[in-house]
Amino acid sequence: MTPFVLIDTHCHLYQIADVEAAVRRAAEQDVRRIVVVSEDAASMRKALDLKGRFDGVMAGLGLHPALVNRMPAAEVEAGLAFIGAHLGEADALGEAGLDFKVLERPEDEAFQRSVLERQFEMARAAKRPVNLHSRRALRETLEEAVRFRRETGLNAQMHWFTQSRKLVRKACDQGIYVSAGPSVLDRPDTQEVVRAIADDLLLLETDSPVPFGEEQSEPAWVRRVAQKVAEVRGTDYETLAGRVAENFERYLGRG
């Protein structure tokens, strides 16, 4: 019997204390691939380092939109330069996107957009898909994702994009991938949105170590997420796991 391969498509593994144990527990739950996304130059280095150390760990390089408005300009430039130099060693661009929750000054939104645009250019040059954050900017980030895909032919993933059924339908109409995370475990509103994701655009994630209730999440949780997503979509775990693995290969541009 072929083993199932679940993928945590968005995780901050370097924030977990015992990475080795977390990777082992993940594999025990069929989670054999983990995309480690980054936020700044320091975490980009860590993501690449983890990719080198563990089979099945992949790296995303990106400047997180919630951080760029507060970084000194030189740090933003250094981060962009790092992406430009190393994206070819990584598997995706991200975590990038827009975050309107952190806007403070009138120029903050335009700056986030310009940093995103420059990252898109690097993704295009390196032929890498993008992994996007969209807090309080769901519609705006989706528009960017659609434009990126149209202009480059490369794929975009809306991470944790399970707040609006209408926007999920819009994303899927445009061929944009949508990932569901642990909020599907106990939130009926998320479960409702997860039912609306197209079969061929569904991905799974944890965004770990984001805490849920008393617990800190970790990549192994993708198993629970997969079982719950299968249940709410009226399918079985085996079928769902197979489909999501195919989707991930296609998202990368390899399937």
C-alpha distances in Å from residue 188, one per residue of 72, 134, 159, 191, 221:
41, 21, 19, 5, 18
**Candidates 43-51, 88-96, 178-186, 214-222; binding stretch for Zn ion (CB under 5 A):** 88-96
In one letter, which amino acid is 15?
A: Q
Is residue 207 a contact residue for Zn ion (CB under 5 A)?
Answer: yes
Is residue 8 a contact residue for Zn ion (CB under 5 A)?
Answer: no
Is residue 39 a contact residue for Zn ion (CB under 5 A)?
Answer: no
Q: Report the residue number, 4 or 131, with the smaller CB distance to Zn ion.
A: 131
Q: Report the residue number, 65 or 233, with the smaller CB distance to Zn ion.
A: 65
Minimum CB separation of residue 16 from Zn ion in Å reads 13
**Candidates 1-9, 138-146, 195-203, 206-214; binding stretch for Zn ion (CB under 5 A):** 206-214
Is residue 205 a contact residue for Zn ion (CB under 5 A)?
Answer: no
**Candidates 13-21, 168-176, 201-209, 231-239; binding stretch for Zn ion (CB under 5 A):** 201-209
Tell which positions 90-129 bind Zn ion, by CB under 5 A. 95
Site string for Zn ion, 41-80 (x = CB under 5 A): ----------------------------------------
* Contact positions vs Zn ion (CB under 5 A): 95, 207
